[in-house]
Structure 1
Amino acid sequence: MDYQFDFHFLTGKADMLLEGLWVTLQLTLYANAMGVVLGFVLCLMAMSKFRMLRWPCQLFIEFFRCTPVLLQIVWFFYCIPILFQVYIDPITMGVLALGLNLTAFNAEAYRAGIQSVPKAHFDACVALGLKSWQQTLYVVLPQSLRTAMPVLLTNGISLMQQSALVAIVAVSDLMYMGKSIAVDAYRPLETYSLIALIYFLMALPISHLVNVFERRQDAAMQR
């Protein structure tokens, strides 16, 4: 291969990359916050004994888990304004689309965590006279969150990667800025390699954190 790498064309492009990186971080952080909170609420509703509450939530989960996230993003950006005459800024719309997708996946992670809570703990709650919201807040949430944490973090990494898909609807995230630089300079190999490295460096610490939680869980189960 006689291709000569040349990164000098990136001189003066740092502002564009930082601007795109900031948008990517906003999408990732806000959508993760949305997914972590709403995922637990959706999980409780999907596990409700009331069918009229349980079935729509289960349908929501299956829809977002069984359709491509790219299709969901495009639908939110183009169909919602047409159907409902609602116009939201691109970053908020991206957070909404990514956050609802993550909510569905996190709901399943929480469900597995809740099912792992020993029945004796629920019996103890009844014996202590705790109300339902007290059981949920003080017993179910802490234990299910601890069990689901590795999956929640992994889902968070996946969401950060999927956030690059908003570039297709012209949201000026890191991927979009990288594409603009690559087109202007006609140096796609160097540009996309740099973008990949940035995503890798952002995801690597979280990946190590997942391993830490998994080791702690394995150690706790062996006691």
Structure 2
Amino acid sequence: MSVHLVTGAGSGIGAAVAGRLLARGDELWLLARDAGRAKELAARFPGAHTLVGDLAEPSRLSWAIGHQAPPDRLDSLLHVAGVVELGRIGDLTPKVWNETLAVNLVGPAELTRLLLPQLRLSRGHVVFVNSGAGLTAHAEWGAYAAGKHGLRALADSLRAEEHAGGVRVTSVYPGRTATPMQQKVHQQEGKAYDPSRWIDPESVASAVLAALDLPRDAEMTDVTVRPGV
């Protein structure tokens, strides 16, 4: 039985990934931003364990994890949580930049650092669910795209550093996916939201699991997922 820790399991792609892993009998750990969210996740995913730690406050993650009992080994760390706030560069405040980069880049970097000993022990796998914005930046997506471009760099550097020890690292770049985040994006864009036009979160979860389940003689480094016709 493999042991996985998932961020962002409350909705969208994270919920789809967590549900698939739990259904196949793996041991599941879920990161929750606070105790209330932890209770919600425990009720939604019976049998899963929870850890409380807020990615929006990266400097407090070490203290938070240190006062709990994280798993002593990890087969995968799956970074799925994220936030988005659209806006033109000339209008974005430091508050938006700091909040966006904390959750989308600095928090994942710090959580990875804290759990690397467990991942090294298991020759585990780190998966970053990135975004098409991590490959191409468009107008009004500056803060989000900057964080996702940084997340790509984080993944590439981590892979180069940990490859010799057997830790695999994968970046998954989904296009627009039918999630609550996408609904928020449409509201900010002033567009009608039709989830049937976009990728089902389960399809992205399938890509994530394909990377996890690849035999040890190979590694998926970058996986791009786009809406079908």
TM-score of the two chains, using structure 1 as the length reference? 0.30
Structure with greater proportional helix content: 1
TM-score of the two chains, using structure 2 as the length reference? 0.29
